[in-house]
Chain A
Amino acid sequence: MLPKILTNAQLEEVYDRIAEALDAVPAERRQLFLAKLALALANLLGDPAKVAQALEAAARDLD
């Protein structure tokens, strides 16, 4: 289970920010945008093991 690091208020703000950023990107470019975002966040995180943990969590329950 991923630890909870952001507070709810921060999470809510991030939620709105990403949603608005997604809306600002044309539909056919959203995948590219999300891949870039993930890469940038991984770099900021600075820990490949944590990235692997996040990848595993995100890969579950996709259908």
Chain B
Amino acid sequence: MHQPATQPRPSIFYRYRVHPFRRPPEMDGAATEVPVTVVGAGPIGLLTALTLARLGCRCVLLESELQVSQGSRAIVLTRRSQEILHTAGVIAPFLAKGLPWTHGRSFYRGREVYRMEMPHDPDDRFLPGLNIQQQYIEEYLVAAIAAEPLIDLRWGSKVVGLAQDAAGATLRVDTPEGEYELRTGWVVAADGGRSAIRRLLGLRMEGRAYAGSFVIADIRADLGLPTERLCFFDPDWNPGNNVLVHREPDGIWRLDFRLPDGETAEAALEPRRLAERIDAILAMVGRPVPWEMDWAAVYSASTLTLPDYVVGRTCFVGDAAHLLPIFGVRGANTGFQDADALAWRLALVARGLAPSSLLRSYSGERVGAAREICEEAGRSTRFMTPPSEGFRLMRDAVLSFTLSEAFCKDLLHWRTSRPHTYADSPLNSEDGGFEGGVTPGAPLKDVRLGEDEHLYDHLGRGFQLIAFAGPQGPDAALEAVLRAAAEARLPVARLLVSPRPLPGRAERVVLDPEGRIAARYAAGPGAAYLARPDTHVCARWRRATPEGLHAALARACGEG
């Protein structure tokens, strides 16, 4: 019998709520079949369930624990993650709680040797980084799910068995009141780095694990420092290793440092030793103040991914699909993009609106993204935790040069998690001769329209047609395209960008008097963009036609 902890987890800043286990109808003989079952209510499973529901797909969400994440774990949301949460309609509490930031500074031998500016465009709504603890990320998503009738979130429900067949899967679920079986059309494995589903299916990840271990410790202290990422290479108290400092909400600071080679996790977490090192870090940042410990853990870096994210009726997302180094904030941010890429496809497939082959392109796009990240993050990891003498010598050479030379400073900046462009996706249609704008496969670019108004605010659910009208309004050809979108078999939200007000239209009209949207999209009158429900562009035309739209929609649903 599964017995999840019923005492709130300890924390000095976060009040854990213990959710009740509720006996599901299947335990009393009801023979239901759910279209989709999401396993694991971490950030990625929660967002997947929410997005499925927003697209009209009912799901059960099984979570083995009764409360949210132990410890703050993933603490940085990238701009893309913020955009994804915004289109899911849940960003408000994140912005109210989180701490936005744009740059980091790196120090060596007591000198600032590198300043990392994360790219920011004035047209973007969100700053490049938003620091917020994983407990809050999960809490806010759980709150949104509570208001969503299509999701049945079951706490204290641990998946212990999985049998797949051609029509679906049967899950064995262990609970505080015993086991039951759940029949489902599709399974989403969002059960984290130690995925039980990965194990049950006998799947192995590919890639490598790195030897260096890191401690992360969250403390409460009054440091009075701004929100930025600080990185110290080779400090006196920890020769050859590095230290990262991040600010979190609620007066919490994340300290992250590499352990001397050969030191065990137990030794590193021994309270007296840990306290000495925290004191050394605070002295190093010039703030030797009293502090209180919230949570500490040891982790190591891997660049591992499953070679295929769809296995039979099971789709993998987040840490269950890949384990990535957290340098460059890849953990949860990569997973959010997985959830976003999977949920719309699975919603269409589960609702019978698209063939199940559509899911192949999910795997293709996201395994490709993960492999790219493994390659990039592998470089950062080899810099932060040199795996051999050769890499250590090269790292030391670069650091030494940074004190007097600029040519290799950029090696101190590990590339940060960014939105992926699915340029080679089979869902993309031909690209209609644009100069600039947003290429097929890339996410829609945001455009600032007013003080608190952006293009993304106007996006609807489902596919998105953005049509560009001239000063006289849409011409007959564009009218035909808008009509075709309204009558399409699949939901297509229509946005009409117009230089002048167009009262009484059925579409949502966005005013663009200065042509700023048109310029950013390199679009003249009669042009149109089609974006998938995850806001990645899949087709665009300088002169759109109903036939082109139908063909592009079919292709984007895996029918092309």
Contact = CB atoms under 8 A, between A and B. Distances in A.
Interface in A11-57: 11-12, 15-16, 18-24, 27, 30, 57
Interface residues of A, number: 25
11 contacts: A1-B405, A5-B407, A8-B411, A11-B407, A11-B408, A15-B394, A19-B391, A19-B394, A23-B388, A24-B390, A61-B109
Contacts of B382: 16, 19
A27 B389 contact: yes
Given A27-B389, A61-B400, A11 B405 contact: no
Contacts of B391: 19, 23
B400 A4 contact: no
Interface string B389-417: 11101100010110111111011000000
A21 B411 contact: no
Contact of A57 (B109, B404, B411): B404
Nearest to B386: A19
Interface of A: 1-6, 8, 11-12, 15-16, 18-24, 27, 30, 57-58, 60-62
B97 interface: no
Interface residues of B, number: 21
B394 A11 contact: no
Contacts of B406: 1-2, 4
A8 B398 contact: no
Nearest to B392: A19
A46 to B, nearest CB: 19
A58 B408 CA distance: 12
A37 to B, nearest CB: 12
Contact of A18 (B379, B390, B401): B390
Contacts of A8: 410-411
Contacts of B398: 15
A45 to B, nearest CB: 15
A23 B388 CA distance: 7
Contacts of A57: 401, 404-405
Given A19-B382, A19-B388, A19-B394, A12 B403 contact: no
Contact of B403 (A15, A16, A60): A60
Given A6-B407, A18-B394, A57-B404, 14 more contacts: A2-B407, A3-B407, A5-B407, A11-B407, A12-B411, A19-B388, A19-B394, A22-B390, A22-B394, A23-B388, A60-B400, A60-B404, A61-B109, A61-B403
Contacts of B405: 1-2, 57
